[in-house]
Amino acid sequence: MFLVAVPGDLTLGLATEIVGLIICLSIFWRGMLGFIFALPPVRELYDRWRRGLDRVVGVILIGFGLSLAIYR
């Protein structure tokens, strides 16, 4: 994904900035997820829907894995 957005004449400084940005965004994303899912209404909603969501995501991942196995 980043290869499309990164210029061909990448310098060490720019590469370091990109890695730093990726790390910062990852920390921010995980922190926000933790904060949001710690809110009681969100946690209660997720607890109610967790089994169904796990099944749906499981089916999607199995389908993705099968498509990789078949078409490669």
Extents of the domains making up the chain: 11-71
Name the nearest CA neighbour of 26 among 16, 34, 36: 34
More reliable by pLDDT, 2 or 33: 33
Do residues 46 and 37 touch, judged by C-beta distance below 8 A?
A: yes
Do residues 18 and 6 touch, judged by C-beta distance below 8 A?
A: yes
pLDDT at 10 over 90: no
Percent of the chain with pLDDT over 90: 76
pLDDT band at 2 (very low <50, low <70, confident <90, very high): low
pLDDT averaged over the chain? 92
